[in-house]
Chains A and B, each alone.
Chain A
Amino acid sequence: MAKRGIPEVNAGSMADIAFLLLIFFLVTTTMDKDHAYIRSIPKNVIIEIPPEPVEKRNICAIQANAQNQLMIRGELMTNPDDISERVLDFYRENEAQNDPINNFPMYSRISKAEIQAALNLAIDEAEAVEKTPNASQDIIDFKYRQVAEWEKKQSAIDLLGKNVLPEIASQAHIRIEVQKATEYNLFATIQSEIEEAIFELRNDAALTVFKESYKQIQSRLAMDKAPVDRDKMELLKILYPDRIIEVTPRK
């Protein structure tokens, strides 16, 4: 038998196969990313004792009716693009100095020593509760959450590099009240404007404290979750918390 070389495989149709795959992927995939605002829904709990009503100054109510008319803190608005400025005012009015007369949320200014004292107290309390016989796990967890909160504040003030940590009233929140027939477009605009205001507040703080933009911190945090960035984000969240309540419409 004569020796024969292995015949070469014809690769001419390889390109066709690859093209076919390529076109399949082109058709079934999308390039555009999904963008959204994430909000949390409050847990369904049975309330036995109704909580005390929130002070009016601590609410930034954004109301919209069925005719798509807007009202912020009892004031009629014609242009929905102005919402973000009103929200900025809500946070900034008393930030430098508390004014008891104006109708904006108060700030507390807590010093390093006070945070340390509160942290020690919280740790002592938590340990005491843990040692008491048949203490419920809920209370122990609650106490340890408080300890964690004070620890966060401590690292926040260290990062801020100032003597005091300004903190908006814990009840201060933004409240969205729409009616059932309000257009979704307006609802989304309200969400967008709130997000814009929070971004601006945090961005300004990030630029002055860390000399970098909020976006940089955000993207780095999403990429590699470094503890440094997490602490930075924690500080920005303490300074400007985004507490948003969406009220279920009754009519």
Chain B
Amino acid sequence: MSKFRKEGGKSAPAINTSSLPDIVFMLLFFFMVATTSKESDPTVRVIKPNGVRTQDMTPYKQKSEIDFLYLGKPLNTARARAYAEMGMEYMLFMDNVVQSTTDDIYNVNAIKRWKLDKFESKPARMNETIEGVITCVKADEGAPSGIIFDIRKELQDIDALKIAYAVNKQDKR
């Protein structure tokens, strides 16, 4: 029995933690490489429709050749009700607008300014013309298609001729 008895009550040796930072840094670098940063949190609720055979927008994001536009009902329910009474159910949210309204919610008229401002503030390495910069519309599945065509009309007027319809990627059934 004496085989299992502790001798002298020695405490367990301390674990060497000097390699912990290395492990954590490795994790950190993994996340830095594998992810892309969020543009901005929209103030409208968007549930994207599903679709198959989609195209990945990451390469365009890395080259900053894409701008995002959200279309949905305001997240704030009180505001949503107020807008609905005014006959505006679905509202736009544009990322990184220079001059924002108090609630960050816009109607279609603001698109031209937003798009041109965004084009002005592109990094110098981006050498696309405005025609080639994609406008990615993330619209709620319940939104009326008419607004999509209003957006297209606005974009056409300033010669921003590439539009993308965002969907949730679904594998083929």
Contacts and interface: CB of A to CB of B under 8 A. Distances in A.
A87 interface: no
Given A44-B156, A199-B53, A25 B28 contact: yes
A183 B144 contact: yes
A179 B146 CA distance: 7
Interface in A1-29: 11-12, 14-15, 17-19, 21-22, 25-26, 28-29
A19 B21 CA distance: 8
Interface residues of A, number: 50
Interface string B39-59: 000000000111111111111
B49 A184 contact: yes
A15 B51 contact: no
A36 interface: yes
Contacts of B50: 188, 192
B156 to A, nearest CB: 5
Nearest to B38: A30
B38 A41 contact: no
A188 B48 CA distance: 9
A178 interface: yes
B134 to A, nearest CB: 6
B24 A38 contact: no
B24 A15 contact: yes
B32 A25 contact: yes
Given A41-B152, A188-B167, A35 B55 contact: yes
A11 B165 contact: no
Given A180-B144, A184-B142, A188-B141, A33 B57 contact: yes
A55 interface: no
A23 to B, nearest CB: 9
A111 B77 CA distance: 65
B145 A187 contact: yes
B52 A192 contact: yes
A43 interface: yes
Contact of B53 (A19, A192, A246): A192
A187 B164 contact: no
A36 B57 contact: yes
Given A179-B145, A188-B141, A18 B24 contact: yes
Top 3 nearest A-B pairs (CB, nearest first) are: A180-B146, A192-B51, A29-B35
Interface of B: 17-18, 20-21, 24-25, 27-28, 31-32, 34-38, 48-59, 61, 68, 71, 134, 136, 139-146, 148-149, 152-153, 155-157, 159-169, 172-173
15 contacts: A14-B20, A30-B38, A36-B164, A37-B167, A38-B162, A39-B163, A41-B160, A43-B156, A43-B159, A178-B145, A181-B144, A184-B71, A188-B48, A188-B165, A192-B54
Given A37-B167, A183-B144, A192-B54, 10 more contacts: A22-B24, A33-B169, A36-B167, A37-B51, A183-B142, A185-B142, A187-B165, A188-B50, A188-B51, A246-B149
